[in-house]
């Protein structure tokens, strides 16, 4: 046993639990933690420019690599309230992050002290656990339990609020004998797996819906193996994109109201049975249950018991960690295949591949200013299969999900449910901090990009190079498109005549000069207007990243108004632009868009 400050014991626990990186902004009420971090010297720290940015960096850090838990730190009062959005985002997508806030001394609580706020109560709805620690001796055990809570069952965020005097108090703690608490993860039984396979076998046109829980469980290889053994095509959700490569013959496309493929929706509507694993039947994926469920049966496998039946009642439910369930599915399916018990799915697979090879939206537009569809076509051609996309919300993200391609798990990192603007830059920096070798490409519309643009300075200061594609139409594009239902175009135009923009520039009237702002923050930027300029710009960006080790922004000037395909039901998607030409000889596993 050793005497130490309670906050020093907290740092020991974080080190023992595998934390090597933190993101945050120091302040008076959390300075004891910063002193302990400096003294211990085992956890690196990246200084954010905004505390919300620190929380999103922690999210990106967790999402990037299996087993990571991002840590974000802030002082008392507004630091904690600023991180609420990050906690909400993490909670909504089942992402474990640890948020640590400073607090006024215990004697000053509930007395309207400067920057003293009840962050425990404020954060409870958006965390798995939130606590203000009122006894110094509890500090190491609260941190120990926090990691156990984050890792057990459905993952999620935890907030620990630390009064100043609690941090400073001396306690007894022995780091040498510290041990993590075992995480709880439920597992399917053999009888449940066999019942599910029996139900699948009785169907004619089954699908697997692969959710983000498969990525959280690091079970994508098992999903692909199960799909290949059974011959059942896979529909990934937006959070599960990358669980199976886009060019795999059993990848049947994404389904949904916005972030979907025409062939994915068509295949879902043609199916008669769905096995959902690690998904939550999000409304952007399903639309109304009346349309989504009609004519098909469902099995739902999820780690969270109360998730099963929350949106609609499946025909059968299994409470299980995705990896545990898939291990048993693969083992049992192999046994059944050897015994000749698995149904032949070749005709159904052929039908799915035919849709995938022909049902595409057009991307080959030559107009200037550019249509966004052409930008994504150029990105597909310029970036290899190792590319890792980061995005949050808006027409940029929706079109990205319709037209880009993802080939690996954790290579589409997206804030799926909360969708806060400004998330993308910070999350990309967190991903890069987690994996410096990752080929990171962020995708933003101009408004998402402007929301927390100051965080680019973090990338410059801490040498976190990545490419940021900004598609600029100087509009709140998604909201403008939604306003069509109200017959208005109101409070969504971002364009103005910038008095500092030269008359001869094509971007006159587009408002903010992103190139100047980016360069002022210590990064590099390129503006392009035509599709033939994109590939050279990407090559220049790669060279600058290597030379300067800073983020490089490529701003693509778009036409002001483009409506992206979407609808209110999966059988009623409005295609605003013309569709690609279909060809009878189109390859069944085609992943490039037809002209």
Among residues 11, 19, 25, 441, the one annotated as catalytic is: 25
The separation between CA 478 and the C-alpha centre of its own chain, rounded to angstroms, equals 19
At 400 the pLDDT is 93
Percent of the chain that is helix, strand, coil (3-state, to 5) = 40, 15, 40
pLDDT for the residue numbered 501: 74
Query: Does residue 573 fall inside a structural domain?
Result: no
Residue 594 lies in a domain: no
Whether 128 and 161 map to the same domain: the answer is: yes
List the catalytic residue out of 159, 421, 534, 573.
Answer: 421
**Within this chain, do residues 152 and 201 fall inside the same structural domain, yes or no?**
no
Is residue 343 located within the same domain as residue 429? no
Q: For 26-47, what is the mean pLDDT?
A: 96
* Res. 290 pLDDT band, cuts 50 70 90: very high
Last-in-domain residue among 331, 358, 385: 358
Arithmetic mean of pLDDT, 506-523: 88
Q: Is the model's pLDDT at 409 over the cut of 60?
A: yes
Asked whether residue 593 carries a pLDDT value surpassing 60, the answer given is no
Cis peptide bond N-terminal to 236, omega within 30: no
The pLDDT value given to residue 116 = 81
383, part of any domain: yes
Read off φ and ψ for residue 482, nearest 5 degrees: -65, -30
Q: Which domain holds residue 149?
A: 2-177
Residues 154 and 241 grouped into a single domain? no
Residue 334 is assigned to a structural domain of this protein = yes
> Which letter, b or e, does each residue of 31-65 get, where b requires 16 or more Cβ atoms within 10 Å of its Cβ?
bbbbbbbeeeeebebbebbbbbbbbbbbbbbbbbe
| Options 158, 197, 476, 558, the catalytic residue | 476
Catalytic residue from among 43, 269, 311, 479: 479
Q: 163: domain CATH number? A: 3.40.50.970
Residue at which a domain ends, from 177, 199, 221: 177
pLDDT band, residue 583 (cuts 50/70/90) = very low
Q: Angle at the Cα of 63 (from 59 to 65), degrees rounded to 5?
A: 130
Active-site residue 476, yes or no? Answer: yes
The question of whether 25 is a catalytic residue gets the answer: yes
Residue 579 lies inside a defined structural domain of this protein: no
**pLDDT value at position 317?**
97
User: What is residue 550's predicted lDDT score, i.e. its pLDDT?
Assistant: 97
Residues 135 and 16 reside in one and the same domain: yes
Q: Which residue did the predictor score with more confidence, 498 or 316?
A: 316
Closest CA to 48 of 76, 14, 73: 73
Same domain flag for 327 and 396: no
Catalytic residue among 51, 257, 303, 552: 51
User: 146, 177, 208 — which closes off a domain?
Assistant: 177
Q: Tokens standing for 97?
A: 């992050």
419, 386: one domain: yes
What pLDDT is recorded for position 511? 86
pLDDT of residue 595: 36
- Residue 456 catalytic? no
Least confident of 9-13, 381-385, 552-556, 578-582: 578-582
Of 386, 385, 444, 455, give the one whose Cα is nearest residue 420.
Answer: 444
pLDDT above 70: residue 467:
yes
**479 annotated active-site:** yes
Q: Are 277 and 237 in contact (CB under 8 A)?
A: no
Residue the block writes with tokens 């449910």: 417
Residue-wise pLDDT for 297-345, tens only, equals 999 999 999 999 999 999 999 999 999 999 999 999 999 999 999 999 9
Looking at residue 127, what DSSP letter applies? Answer: S
Task: Report the mean per-residue pLDDT for the chain.
Answer: 92
What digits encode the pLDDT tens for the residues 178-193?
Answer: 999 999 999 999 999 9
Query: Quick one: 103 and 212 in the same domain?
Result: no
pTM (two decimals)? 0.92
**Per-residue pLDDT band at 586 (split at 50, 70, 90):** very low
CB 380 within 8 A of CB 403: yes
Share of the chain above pLDDT 90, in %: 80
**Helix (H, G, I), strand (E, B), or coil: what is residue 192?**
helix
pLDDT over 60 (residue 517): yes
383 and 467 belong to one structural domain? yes
Cβ-based neighbours of 148, under 8 Å, separated by 6 or more: 180, 181, 182, 183
* 351-402 pLDDT tens trace: 999 999 999 998 888 888 989 999 999 999 999 899 999 999 888 899 999 9
- Whether 408 and 331 map to the same domain: the answer is no
Give the residue carrying structure tokens 């703690």: 173
Question: Could you tell me whether strands 573-574 and 566-567 are parallel, antiparallel, or unpaired per DSSP bridges?
Answer: antiparallel
- Read off the pLDDT of residues 141-162 as tens digits, 9 standing for 90 and up: 999 999 999 999 999 999 999 9
> Tokens 């993802």 appear where?
406
Q: Is 51 a catalytic residue?
A: yes
* Number of structural domains the chain divides into: 3
Share of the chain above pLDDT 70, in %: 96
Please answer whether residues 446 and 494 qualify as being in contact, where contact means their C-beta atoms are separated by less than 8 angstroms.
yes
Q: For residues 325 and 418, state if they share a domain.
A: no
Give first-to-last CA distance, the chain, whole Å: 70
Hey, what are 451's tokens? 């929301």
Residue 592 has pLDDT above 60, yes or no: no
Q: Are 312 and 283 in contact (CB under 8 A)?
A: no
């Amino acid at each position: 046993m050793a005497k130490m400050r309670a906050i020093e014991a907290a740092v020991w626990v974080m080190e023992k639990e595998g934390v090597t990186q933190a993101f945050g902004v120091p302040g008076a009420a959390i300075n004891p933690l910063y002193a302990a971090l400096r003294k211990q010297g085992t956890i690196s720290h990246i200084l954010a420019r905004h505390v919300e940015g620190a929380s999103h960096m922690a999210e990106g850090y967790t999402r990037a690599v299996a087993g990571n838990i991002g840590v974000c730190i802030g002082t008392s009062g507004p630091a904690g309230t600023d991180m609420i959005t990050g906690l909400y985002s993490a909670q909504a997508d089942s992402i474990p992050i640890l948020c640590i806030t400073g607090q006024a001394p215990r004697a000053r609580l509930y007395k309207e002290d400067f920057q003293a706020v009840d962050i425990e109560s404020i954060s409870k709805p958006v965390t798995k656990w939130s606590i203000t620690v009122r006894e110094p001796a509890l500090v190491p055990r609260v941190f120990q339990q926090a990691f156990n809570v984050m890792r057990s069952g459905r993952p999620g965020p935890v907030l620990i609020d630390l009064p100043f005097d609690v941090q400073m108090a001396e306690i007894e703690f022995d780091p040498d004998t510290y041990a993590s608490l075992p995480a709880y993860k439920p597992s399917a039984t053999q009888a449940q797996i066999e019942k599910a396979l029996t139900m699948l076998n009785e169907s004619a046109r089954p699908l697997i819906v692969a959710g983000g829980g498969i990525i959280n469980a690091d079970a994508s290889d098992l999903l692909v193996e199960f799909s290949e053994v059974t011959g059942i095509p896979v529909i990934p959700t937006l959070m599960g994109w990358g669980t199976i490569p886009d060019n795999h013959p059993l990848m049947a496309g994404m389904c949904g109201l916005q972030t979907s493929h025409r062939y994915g929706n068509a295949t879902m509507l043609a199916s008669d049975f769905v096995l959902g694993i690690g998904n939550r039947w999000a409304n952007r994926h399903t639309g109304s249950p009346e349309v989504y469920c009609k004519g098909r049966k469902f099995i739902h496998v999820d780690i969270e018991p109360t998730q099963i039946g929350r949106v609609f009642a499946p025909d059968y439910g299994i409470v299980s960690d995705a990896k545990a369930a898939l291990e048993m599915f693969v083992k049992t399916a192999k046994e059944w295949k050897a015994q000749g018990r698995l149904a032949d799915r070749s005709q159904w697979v052929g039908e799915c591949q035919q849709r995938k090879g022909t049902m595409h939206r057009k991307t080959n537009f030559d107009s200037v200013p550019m249509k966004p569809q052409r930008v994504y076509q150029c990105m597909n051609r310029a970036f290899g299969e190792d590319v890792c996309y980061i995005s949050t919300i808006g027409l940029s993200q929706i079109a990205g999900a319709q037209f880009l391609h993802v080939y690996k798990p954790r290579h589409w990192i997206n804030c799926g449910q909360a969708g806060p603007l400004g998330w993308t830059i910070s999350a990309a920096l967190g991903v890069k901090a987690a994996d410096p070798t990752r080929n990171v490409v962020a995708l933003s519309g101009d408004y998402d990009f402007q929301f927390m643009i100051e965080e680019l300075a973090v990338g410059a200061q801490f040498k976190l190079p990545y490419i940021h594609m900004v598609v600029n139409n100087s509009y709140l594009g998604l909201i403008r498109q939604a306003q069509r239902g109200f017959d208005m175009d109101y409070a969504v135009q971002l364009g103005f005549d910038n008095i500092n923009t030269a008359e001869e520039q094509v971007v006159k009237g587009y408002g903010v000069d992103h190139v100047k702002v980016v360069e002022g923050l210590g990064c590099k930027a390129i503006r392009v207007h035509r599709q033939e300029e994109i590939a050279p710009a990407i090559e220049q960006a790669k060279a600058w990243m290597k030379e300067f080790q800073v983020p490089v922004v490529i701003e693509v000037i778009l036409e002001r108004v483009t409506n992206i395909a979407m609808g209110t039901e999966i059988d009623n998607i409005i295609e605003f632009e013309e569709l690609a030409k279909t060809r009878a000889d189109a390859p069944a596993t085609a992943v490039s868009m037809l002209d």
